[in-house]
Structure 1
């Protein structure tokens, strides 16, 4: 039995007439009559009684109608959902970021985005130990925000902004009077990082690993407030962007020191799967990223 058969049963059951049903189904009466005979022959039973020029459902017909209404209702619901998805007005956006410190800007960005796309749900994935580019490729997430990329095939990189990271130390730290610090300066320091692996941390990938320098100790702390308090207490040093630290610099307890004479610079990008049929809400979310975090980060560097 095909979908067209189910639609025929539903329409004839409602109108009780092939003549009336033909207008709704855009078929001739003879074509409908042929289809009805085809269904009844396939099922081996009558689906309608002919009573006073009306077609009245038999018990078998009622069973088919019950299934037809359920199936057609579900198909119509799916069709509406697909149309909304294709038009970019409805869907789910699964988001991850390579850096834990990015999440503080997310609530305000989501509020702006929701005004434009109220029917798009945003799911946030916090596990950044996994390779987010692999997650994009296997379909686990739809968009990731990263600052290091490998130019994978089938991944689109949408540049957002550039920033610089600085060593943060308390005012009384020996580095406080330096114009910049070098890789060797970190050899006798406790270095606080947000997450492993070390290869994903800019300080290590751009400075320490190429120079073959290992700090005295590496500590993982994922909460920015806790990192700042540990640095202020002299428990270690951290390397972070100024835009992330901006709320904590007002009390003047911290000093920012460039790392190496050339500095450590990062290019942030939103990455998505290469897809010509990418939903409109995904394109607009990237635009919101540029407008929200892009302007925020550029204006404080």
Structure 2
């Protein structure tokens, strides 16, 4: 069977026109190289080198394999170089999908900082509002999913980012703005402004309103956090957002949801087979550090024992 060391041997013989010099460049003995060559010729049933001529010359069959070596060996060397660069985080791909719309405000600056030190890593980001990103993660079209899910089954590794409180966002002069906390029933007559995703993917609905059997009067959607906050300030409805995503403002009030508060988590999901890729590790650490450096109202997630 033809193997890479056969191609390297033929390339060295063609380059040096001498078995002795070729063996030296391959860090082997001349007898070892001759033995390798005879075994290959025996397998292929054809001569590859004319040993009767000085300098050594490849036969027509040898020249055919040399053309193969000249194509294959540079590709192998380039692939090995790329893999080594991936090991140290100097190269790779980072396609990110956000299920957390409000994350875009702090994630984009983190991506810019990341590019400063990882300029050869291919980076892209998209929102996950219109599709389920997990199949894309497992199939390889997405490399990282920023989500509130701690884990999503076998084959997926969840890196914790931070824990945060989800608060109601109300017009400053709304009758509910002065309460210590809101109950689900407080939303029954309200217009809720949310991101354009299904209700099952909104903590306000799935973890607060639906368990209490409360259906708000109306729901309207907006793509951007800043737009949601602006619409609330204009009195067009109320919202529920991560506290860190809503800056202190004279126009809106932030009120806890429930007496104990409603808390969420953010995780970065990656393929378990990508565990240890340096550029992914670097980005997750940078995103976490930038979040803690920017927001005072988030906390670390208590780590669970890793699963295999």
Question: TM-score by structure 2 length?
Answer: 0.84
Q: Distance in 1 between matches of 2:29 and 2:149?
A: 63
| Local SS of the residue matching 1:174 | coil
Measure the CA separation in 1 of the matches of 2:149 and 2:30: 65
Aligned to 2:257: 259
Report 1:27-46 matches (<5 A).
27-40=28-41, 46=47
Kept in 2, the 8 Å contact 1:180–1:258? The answer is yes
Counterparts in 2 of 1:299 and 1:167: CA distance versus 1, 3 Å: closer
Distance 1:293 1:125 in 2: 19
The question of whether the paired residues in 2 share the 8 Å contact of 1:191 and 1:215 is answered with yes
Q: What's the secondary structure of 1:54's corresponding residue?
A: coil
Q: Secondary structure at the match of 2:12?
A: helix
What is the aligned partner in structure 2 of residue 12 from structure 1? Answer: 13
**Map of 1:231-250 to 2, 5 A cutoff?**
231-246=232-247, 249-250=248-249
Tell me how far 1:87 sits from its aligned partner: 3.4
Q: Structure 1 residue 89: deviation in Å?
A: 3.1
**Cα 1:78–1:15 shift into 2, 3 Å:** same
1:88-136 C-alpha deviation (Å, 9 max, x unpaired)? 3321123222211101212321232234333322232322454455554
> Structure 1 residues 105 and 39, CA, compared in 2 at 3 Å: closer, same or farther?
same
Match in the other structure for 1:91: 92
1:218 Cα deviation after fit: 1.6
Instruction: State the match for 2:106 in structure 1.
Output: 105
SS of 2:105 mapped into structure 1? helix
- The question of whether the paired residues in 2 share the 8 Å contact of 1:243 and 1:296 is answered with no
| Corresponding residue for residue 26 of structure 2 | 25
Mark the runs of 5 or more structure 1 residues left unpaired by the alignment.
none
Range moving further from structure 2, 1-10 or 121-130? 121-130
Query: Which structure shows the bigger proportion of residues in helix conformation?
Result: 1
**What is the match of residue 289 of structure 1?**
287
Q: Please say if residues 160 and 268 of structure 1, whose CA atoms lie closer than 8 Å, have aligned partners that are also in contact.
A: yes
Distance 1:158 1:5 in 2: 44
Does residue 171 of the first structure (1) align with residue 172 of the second (2)? yes
Is 1:73 aligned to 2:74, yes or no? yes
d(CA) in 2 for partners of 1:47, 1:154:
48
Map of 1:186-225 to 2, 5 A cutoff?
A: 186-225=187-226
Cα distance change on mapping 1:36 and 1:300 into 2, 3 Å: closer
Moved more, 43-52 or 166-175: 43-52
In the TM superposition, what whole-angstrom CA distance separates every residue of 1:165-223 from its partner, at most 9, and x where no partner exists?
Answer: 22222233232333332211211111111132212211112210100111112222212
- Check 1:192–1:112 CA distance in 2 against 1; reply closer, same or farther (3 A cut): same
- The answer as to whether partners of 1:168 and 1:238 remain within 8 angstroms in 2 is yes
- Residues 58-94 of structure 1 show CA distances to partners (whole Å, capped at 9, x for unaligned) of 4544333222111111111111112222333321123
- What is the CA RMSD across the aligned residues, in angstroms? 2.7
State the Cα distance separating 1:30 from its structure 2 match: 2.6
Aligned to 1:126: 127
**1:181 aligns to what?**
182
